[in-house]
Amino acid sequence: MTQHKIQFSPVMRVRGLDLYYGTAQALFSVDMDIPKHQVTALIGPSGCGKSTFLRCLNRMNDLLGSVSIQGKIEMDDGTDIYDKHQDPIQLRRQVGMIFQKSNPFPKTIYENVVYGLRIAGVNDKKTLDQVVESSLTRAALWDEVKDRLDQSALGLSGGQMQRLCIARAVAVGPEILLMDEPCSALDPKSTAKIEDLILELRGKYTIVIVTHNMQQASRVSDYTGFFYEGKLIEFDRTQQIFTNPKNQQTEDYITGRFG
Amino acid sequence: MTIHLQKEIEKLKTMILSMSARVEKNFHDIAEAVVKVDVETAQRIIREEKEINSIELEVEEECLKCLALYQPVAVDLRLIVAILKINNELERINDFSVNAAERVLDLSGLAMESSPFDIRGMADKVGRMLSMSLDALINMDPQMAVEVCNLDDQVDEINKTIFQQVIAQLKAGSPQVEMLLLFSSISRYLERIADLASNIAEDVVYLVEGEIVRHQNLEGYDFHKGR
């Protein structure tokens, strides 16, 4: 892997990560430090392993029976997220995920935001009201929905639904937000809102975003990792990757010469 | 989309190479014309200035179009940025050739046997720098580009020497005040052209190495790109 000497404080350290779907290996010895309170974009052609890698970071792959993993992913406090004593539900509170297609529950806007808290046993109205306002504000949605919190989330526009999902993820107080192509189903205006939001959230949360849109990666991220055929080919500051990548494969991919 | 961008880039390369060929030819012609006080050549170079200016605008517009429409990155971005800058530097080199051509017209009215200074020697050095910087661009050769930058000090020295000689002759009460000032100007134009050739060379280093190397001594430059 090509990497410049870069210094940051990592919130997660991935070491020697191999992943198999059955017998087919999908990730090959990936090492990556995820920089704290920064935005990291993962790019690469379809099937390169970037979404698979993303899903490893909150053990979403556990839900697929055929997946096996070797290697280590450590949080900054030294805990290995794949340790047998680690509770995946607790982990997913710390490491939230936003998917390509927004997936609000068929409930009110309010109930969508507090869903995670209710599951955790929080039912105090005042606390929930505060979380709803702060989460929707953080997700840049409060002004648009504050007068209709009791209406169904399914009546929102696509962009609003995606921001609601971000609010729902933020409501449980995560450290890390994983985003798997969060804008690929949105129009340019909604995309711009999500991108603005990512830049707003940066500094408070660590964000890892998988995107096919390279301009998006260059606009919103501080660091970029390029995956190809299950390997992390290059990881560097985004500015470096997009002006002067060190690896020929990275250069060929981002300039559209393949992929 | 990338095929379109590559086609546009090929077009830009052709445009900048044709611009550089014309600017280089003008420079070599005016360098000769200064020594021979060749009025005809000087007039031609002054006449052609507008053409060079309009090529500069065309190249700039093409570069801006590529940036806006294709949002190039990596080597494509560096190439277009380098062309944008080199285009501007070539136009300014031609401006100095035109300035020198105007001084040739001024000199033609003076009774003078030959240049009292080593203008030919200086022009040869500057011409070599210009040719090398453009060869470096064509061949994407950062080593040659660094050599160009390292030659710049020699031209600065010659310019300084000529300036001191002019001052000395003026102090000594030379009656040829106008001629001395005209050659001092020409020496200054040549020195500026050498600076611009160095800028082109620095742009080539950026293009190939991805590192901005302006405002630094390039002696012993470490070509570290090595993939």
The kind and range of the H/E element at A17 are strand A10-21
A239 touches chain B (CB under 8 A): no
Residue B216 lies in a domain: no
**Neighbour-count burial of B6, counting CB atoms closer than 10 A to its CB (0-12 exposed, 13-18 middle, 19+ buried):** middle
Q: Is the separation of the CB atoms in A153 and A105 below 8 Å?
A: yes
* B226 in a structural domain: no
Please tell me the predicted confidence (pLDDT) of residue B226. 44
Give the gap in angstroms from C-alpha B219 to the nearest C-alpha of chain A: 23
Range(s) of the domain holding residue B164: 3-209
Range A52-72 average pLDDT: 92
A242 in contact with chain B, both atoms CB, cutoff 8 A: yes
Q: Does A216 touch chain B (CB under 8 A)?
A: no
Residues of A in contact with B78 (CB under 8 A): 243-244
| Position B204, amino acid | V
Residue B44 lies in a domain: yes
CATH of the domain at B205: 1.20.58.220
Contact A243 B78 (CB under 8 A): yes
**What is the distance between the alpha carbons of residues B87 and B82, in angstroms, rounded to a whole number?**
8
Query: Does the beta carbon of A206 lie under 8 angstroms from any beta carbon of chain B?
Result: no
Measured between CB atoms, does B2 come within 8 Å of chain A? yes
Does B224 fall in a domain? no
Rounded Cα distance between B72 and B77, Å, is 5
pLDDT of the residue at B83: 97
Interface contact B75, partner A, CB < 8 A = yes
- Is position B126 within any domain? yes
Residue B189 lies in a domain: yes
Output the pLDDT for position B217. Answer: 81
**Topology at the third CATH level for domain A10-255:** Rossmann fold (3.40.50)
Please state, in angstroms and rounded to a whole number, the distance separating the CA atoms of residues A48 and A26.
Answer: 8
Q: Which residue of B has its CA nearest to A249?
A: B227
Question: Counting beta carbons within 10 angstroms of the beta carbon of residue A71, is it exposed (0 to 12), middle (13 to 18) or buried (19 or more)?
Answer: middle
Residue A183 phi/psi, 5-degree rounding, is -115, 5
Instruction: Write out chain A residues lying below 8 Å of B77, CB-based.
Output: 242-243
Per-residue pLDDT of chain B (227 residues; tens, 9 = 90+): 578 899 999 999 999 999 999 999 999 999 999 999 999 999 999 999 999 999 999 999 999 999 999 999 999 999 999 999 999 999 999 999 999 999 999 999 887 767 778 899 999 999 999 999 999 999 999 999 999 999 999 999 999 999 999 999 999 999 899 999 999 999 999 999 999 999 999 999 999 998 888 888 877 788 765 44
Q: What is the number of structural domains in chain B?
A: 1
